[in-house]
Amino acid sequence: MKRIAFFLMVTVTGLVKAQDPIFSQFFMIPETVNTSFTGSSEGTKAGIIHKVQWPGLDFSINTQFAYASNWFEEMNSGIGISFLNHKETQTRYNFSQFNVNYAYRVKVTDKWTFRPSLSLGVGSKDFGFQNLLLEDQINIVSGVINTNSIDPIDLQRNLLFFDTSVSFLAHNDKTWIGLTLRHLNKPNISFVGEGNNALEMFMSFHGAIEFPLERGSDDHSVFFLTNAMVQGKYNRVDVGGQYVYDRFSFALLAATTPFANDPNSHFLTSINAGVGFKYEGFKFGYSYDFNVTNIGRTGGIFELSISYDFDNNYDCDGCPNYY
């Protein structure tokens, strides 16, 4: 039983220390990485993105993110909600979090705007421990299985925690730069009763610069994109570009690990290609991450997104410009 307990502790620790879910389409639905975009179009918006990772393996991962936000001019603020769900099929590990987001607009100059934001959330982690069977639950004489165990590990089946994050966004009509700091309160996410395993802070520095290809038009442009992320020992930097023509967009980014913490790490991990299409207030996106490491035939990673601007206000004056 001690060996079982040790295995469980190692497995649980490895999973709860895993990094936050990351979306390659941060430039199409920036709410996935920065809550300061809440109400940034100064109207009402909603959207959802679905991510499937490594469908070619038995160990596949599905992640969904949904949001809705509204701008309140009398408060000079945006208020919204968001929901994240992350599930690993083989281990039955499930992580969900609901957040309330608030962003405030500060006009710094005639061209530049600063938007700080606060996000408060409640998270839930579930490992499916109810499916485990420990040694002391089995009566080898009668064959009866007891539903309770006296194992001192006292694994919790479901874990709830409170989470606090802040984000900042500075932008003009051609450039936006953002910073996000998640898990400022470092909540305890240990599955072990009376254990202490703090969720490590996630930091992201991201931005975009637009280079118009036609004078006075945002319908024919090239964007330079980047998103640098750090969480504990994990680090990743996405860098690339997006070409926009009328209603269509095409993006190509490289996902890199510039500071390798493992001899088996690769500097370049994937090449991420994406396409987008706008129609009225709708925006559709699809991306596929091509794995370039020797991990094997994973089936890659794909994301499908859809968002809707109820005011069809994607090109509002003074708002952060992104496709």
Distance separating alpha carbons of residues 108 and 143, to the nearest angstrom:
73
Residue 252, SS3 per DSSP: strand
Q: For each of the domains in the chain, give its residue range(s) and CATH number, in order of start.
A: 2-309 (2.40.160.40)
Alpha-carbon distance values, 18 to 95, 199, 312 (Å): 11, 9, 38
- Say what the pTM is: 0.85
Looking at the chain, the number of H-run helices and the number of E-run strands are 1, 15
Comparison of pLDDT for 181 and 16, the residue scoring more = 181
Q: For position 125, what pLDDT does the model report?
A: 87
Share of the chain above pLDDT 70, in %: 79
pLDDT 10s digits, 56-89: 666 778 999 999 999 999 999 999 999 999 998 7
Angstrom distance (rounded) from CA 280 to CA 286? 18
Rounded to whole angstroms, the Cα distance separating 243 from 220 reads 8
Phi, psi of 94 (to 5 degrees): -135, 130
